[in-house]
Amino acid sequence: MRAVFGIDVSKDRSDVAILVNGEKVHGYTMPNDTIGFSRLFHDLEQVRDPEIIFEATGVYSRRLEAFLKNNDFTFTRLNPLESKKQLDSLRHRKTDKIDAESLAQTQFILKSKPSYVQEEIYEQLRDLSHFYQNLTEDIVRAKNRLHKVLQVTFPEIENILSSPNGEQYWNFIILFAHPLFILNLSREQLENKIRSSTSKRISEKRVGTLADKLTDLAELSYPAVDEHSPIITQVQYYAEELLRISKVRREILDIMVEKAKDLPEYEILLSVPGIAETTATSIIGELGDIRRFRNPNQINAFIGIDLRHYESGNFIAQEHITKRGNPYARKILFKAIHNIVCASRFKPCHIADFYAKRKRQSPNASTKPYTIASMHRLIRTLHYIITHNKNYDYTLTQSQ
């Protein structure tokens, strides 16, 4: 006897359909809380080896998944695309109750294997990595907004340092959001403020140079508003926000590194030229336990760089990546390729060799196609060295 529990998960509740040997014997709606999960636990305990299938619905299905893990139930978790393809072949009407029953029916037909349950450390790194990526996006957004309002108050200050970025620059923005905030100060007051702009020690020569440059920029500037404008508050707010978010992001990265360094794949990833702490921890956070993928093509599909092929008669469409998958992982690996290429000047890597070869073959073409191809080669390499527990060795790649 096969008993399958199909569960359609939504925000506050879930619809459960129980099928035995293909026939529905019971169905109900339960809240996603202790009461609802207690009822589900009672029903699961009534049958031997229950098969549980549900669709991953982001944060909403996390509570159900945690309940099943905590009670040692195996389950099949379908990604939304996979679920849609299975249900579209069965349903003519769509409701949550119908979806729950249809999920159970597909299990009798397809007999999907239970989902791989990762160790808790990988789940924690995934959540931390998502937080880190969100903070990065917040920094980019705040930088753009800061740049916009600075054009009204004091655009020249963007030239004070070699790069308009970092703790000292943002402190300069807070202190000198308007040219008059510099011109109304004595030389001694200006130099004292410069010293207070960074937690690092700064030489007197450097203080003098910055004071001269700030004064020159302030005298050159013609702001659109006076020093009492409400836009000054906006400028200072975005600079303070950048300082705060950057501090939190550094703390999150430190936590990620501390957790990841105990995993065997951490040192293996660091052995690849161009992959440093941030990239290594982010790869583990987004890809999880790479050993759960049977082959590199599964990782390609997971991050969305598998190719979409369309052919009809004599027409063959140009192939493009599907972009269905983890966008953060795709972004991290895309950047990793450029890091590997840059590092190849000092540490050779066969992936950088492949990239350079493709670039020589098509010097005027966009770099995106062979960056994607290099990503696939990197994924193959990572999958091999991690599953075989070996550090990267450039000499071995040359002997093949």
Last-in-domain residue among 84, 110, 136: 110
Domain assignment of residue 313, given as a range: 299-398
Q: Are residues 237 and 153 in the same domain?
A: yes
Averaged pLDDT, 37-43? 96
Q: Are residues 330 and 386 in the same domain?
A: yes
pLDDT at 95: 75
Q: Output the average pLDDT for the chain.
A: 90
CATH of the domain at 176: 1.10.287.4070
pLDDT at 293: 92
Last-in-domain residue among 193, 224, 257: 257
Residue 192 lies in a domain: yes
Averaged pLDDT, 264-277? 95
Residue 226 lies in a domain: yes
Q: Are residues 153 and 252 in the same domain?
A: yes
pLDDT tens-place string over residues 83-93 = 555 555 555 55
Residue 264 lies in a domain: no
Confirm if 260 and 125 have CB atoms less than 8 A apart: yes
pLDDT tens-place string over residues 141-154 = 999 999 999 999 99
pLDDT at 309: 43
Write the secondary structure of 64-115 as one string of H (helix), E (strand) and C (coil). Answer: HHHHHHHCCCCCEEECHHHHHHHHHCCCCCCCHHHHHHHHHHHHHHHCCCCC
With cut-offs at 50, 70 and 90, classify the pLDDT of residue 181.
very high
The distance between the two most distant Cα atoms of the chain, rounded to a whole number of Å, is 88
pLDDT at 321: 67
349 to 153, 270, 276, 355, 383: CA distances (angstroms): 47, 13, 14, 10, 16
Q: Are residues 161 and 214 in the same domain?
A: yes
Residue 11 lies in a domain: yes
Residue 370 lies in a domain: yes
With the CA atoms of 333, 336, 338 and 341 taken in that order, what torsion angle do they form, in degrees rounded to the nearest 10?
-120
pTM for the model: 0.85
Is residue 308 predicted with pLDDT exceeding 50? yes
Q: Are residues 16 and 90 in the same domain?
A: yes
Residue 354 lies in a domain: yes
How many domains are contained in the chain? 3
Distance between CA atoms of residues 130 and 132, nearest Å: 5
Q: Are residues 130 and 224 in the same domain?
A: yes
Q: Are residues 231 and 136 in the same domain?
A: yes
Q: Are residues 147 and 192 in the same domain?
A: yes
Last-in-domain residue among 205, 226, 257: 257
Q: Are residues 102 and 135 in the same domain?
A: no
pLDDT tens-place string over residues 129-144 = 999 999 999 999 999 9
Confirm if 78 and 56 have CB atoms less than 8 A apart: yes
Residue 279 lies in a domain: no
Give the closest residue to 216 by CA, choosing from 178, 183, 175.
183
pLDDT at 358: 86
Distance between CA atoms of residues 108 and 19, nearest Å: 9
Q: How many residues does the chain have?
A: 400
Residue 42 lies in a domain: yes
Residue corresponding to tokens 């916009």? 148
Contacts of 154 (CB under 8 A, 6+ apart): 176, 177, 178, 179, 217, 218, 221, 223, 235
pLDDT tens-place string over residues 312-336 = 555 444 556 667 778 999 999 999 9
Q: Are residues 128 and 245 in the same domain?
A: yes
Q: Are residues 129 and 253 in the same domain?
A: yes
Q: Are residues 144 and 248 in the same domain?
A: yes
Highest mean pLDDT: which range of 144-158, 307-321, 351-365: 144-158
pLDDT tens-place string over residues 215-269 = 999 999 999 999 999 999 999 999 999 999 999 999 999 999 999 999 999 999 9
